[in-house]
Amino acid sequence: MEVRRDPVTGENTTGHEWDGLEELDKNVPWPFKLGLVIAIAIAAVMWVMLPSWPHISSDKWPYVTDYTKGTIGYSDRGRVARNLALLADTQAKFDKRFTDRDLKDLLADPEARKSYFAAAATLFRENCAMCHGRKITGRPRFPNLADNQWLWSGDVDGIYETIKYGINSEHDDSRSGSMPAFGKDEMLDLDQIHDVVEYVMKISGQKHLPDAAKRGAGLFKEHCVACHQKGGVGNANNGAPNLTDDEWIYEGHKKTVYQSVFYGRAGVMPHWVDRLRDAEMRQLALYVKWVGADIAAQKAVELKNKPESKVTEKLDGKDEDE
């Protein structure tokens, strides 16, 4: 088939023919061509403006260790450094009103609460809620922060320090305290552990075997009071928990208390000084106290409003948690 002019469109054909079908030799529409030219032009400009070509640098010849930096000197790392500097400025402004003041002072200041609370709640959710729960009430193995029972200092400065350096954490200034493994390390035999556990059940007001508890009392005096203090009330200076209340980190059943005595415990609170700003750790310490106080207040109200009839209901053997 010959190349010929198509009478309808006035274009030439390519000269190809398939079963009588012919193909017009049409040009690419000019807007497409223009688009291509513009794209190439943009690329050329960007090559000049942005980092683009790797090249050999004179001091490490013949290795390719350098690149053209571009005329505007853009770098991702530079941009993020600038953005973070801006962020730090904003944060400094936000923190400024409070960084110079005493934490105890801030705790009682309703305006501080207004300014910090929302930010601290977000921080708590992002960093602390994993273990302590969104409602700060903890779960087995992870302490309840709302019960006003503290292993270590429970005042706001003490909490700040715990957040900063952690407990049994990898930080050098970490608080450290651990329960020895009386069973595993053969300081007590199994019968003795059994007796001590019964004694702990007794002082925490749970069901216990009186004879065993009596024997356990002596052992407790000998082995446990150094940390847990006389009567097992705990010691905030070495992180020994109070054994007489009904708040437990490891649930406080006979079984788990037995495990604690046999294998020991050394719960870990991570340190946050490398991850959070100082102001953020202060906010968190305040937040824990604020929410703790709220929950305590709420509980007090509930207790007060509890109808008298409840007591009789309880005596009837009905479920006390409705």
Partner 1 sequence: MSKLHQMIERNSLVMVLMITIVASIGGIIEIAPLFTIENTIEKVEGMRPYTPLELAGRDIYVREGCYACHSQMIRTLKTDVDRYGHYSLAAESMYDHPFQWGSKRTGPDLARVGLKYSDDWHVAHMKEPRRFVEGSIMPGYAFLADNDLDLDRAPLSLKALRMAGDPYTDKMIAEAKQDILRQADPELEGEDDLEERYGEKVQIRDFDGQPKRVTEMDAIVAYLQMLGTLIDPKQVSDKIRAEEAAKSKALKGESQ
Quote the tokens at residue 240. 């020994």
Of the pair 82, 314, the CB lying nearest partner 1 is at: 82
Residues 307 and 315: their CA atoms lie apart, in Å, by: 14
User: Which own/partner pairs from 20-25 qualify as long-range (CB within 8 Å, at least 24 positions apart)?
Assistant: none
Of the pair 141, 253, the CB lying nearest partner 1 is at: 141
Sign of CA dihedral 249, 116, 94, 130: positive
Of the pair 93, 230, the CB lying nearest partner 1 is at: 93
Of the pair 135, 221, the CB lying nearest partner 1 is at: 135
Cis peptide, bond prior to residue 62, ω within 30 of zero: yes
How many other CB atoms sit within 10 Å of the CB of residue 105?
11
Of the pair 95, 195, the CB lying nearest partner 1 is at: 95
Q: Shortest Cβ distance from residue 311 to partner 1 (Å)?
A: 34
Of the pair 81, 296, the CB lying nearest partner 1 is at: 81
Of the pair 232, 267, the CB lying nearest partner 1 is at: 267
Binding-site ranges for partner 1 (CB under 8 A): 14, 25, 54, 60, 63-65, 73, 75-85, 87, 126-127, 129-131, 134, 139, 141-142, 169-170, 184, 263, 267-271, 275
Q: Shortest Cβ distance from residue 57 to partner 1 (Å)?
A: 9
CA 78 to centroid of chain Cα atoms? 28
Residues 160 and 282: their CA atoms lie apart, in Å, by: 6
Q: Shortest Cβ distance from residue 153 to partner 1 (Å)?
A: 20
Local structure of 308: helix, strand or coil: coil
Of the pair 229, 259, the CB lying nearest partner 1 is at: 259
Q: Shortest Cβ distance from residue 108 to partner 1 (Å)?
A: 30
Q: Shortest Cβ distance from residue 291 to partner 1 (Å)?
A: 16
Q: Shortest Cβ distance from residue 265 to partner 1 (Å)?
A: 10
Q: Are 216 and 200 in contact (CB under 8 A)?
A: yes
Q: Shortest Cβ distance from residue 16 to partner 1 (Å)?
A: 11
Q: Shortest Cβ distance from residue 63 to partner 1 (Å)?
A: 5
Residue among 322, 216, 37, 39 at smallest CA distance from 208 = 216
Kindly state the helix (H) or strand (E) to which residue 156 belongs, with its residue range. helix 156-165
Sign of CA dihedral 307, 308, 309, 310: positive
Beta bridge partners of 318: none
Q: Shortest Cβ distance from residue 35 to partner 1 (Å)?
A: 19
Helix axes 190-203, 254-263, angle to 10 degrees: 130
Residues 96 and 279: their CA atoms lie apart, in Å, by: 9
Q: Are 56 and 64 in contact (CB under 8 A)?
A: yes
Residues 171 and 164: their CA atoms lie apart, in Å, by: 9
Of the pair 86, 303, the CB lying nearest partner 1 is at: 86
Q: Are 125 and 134 in contact (CB under 8 A)?
A: yes
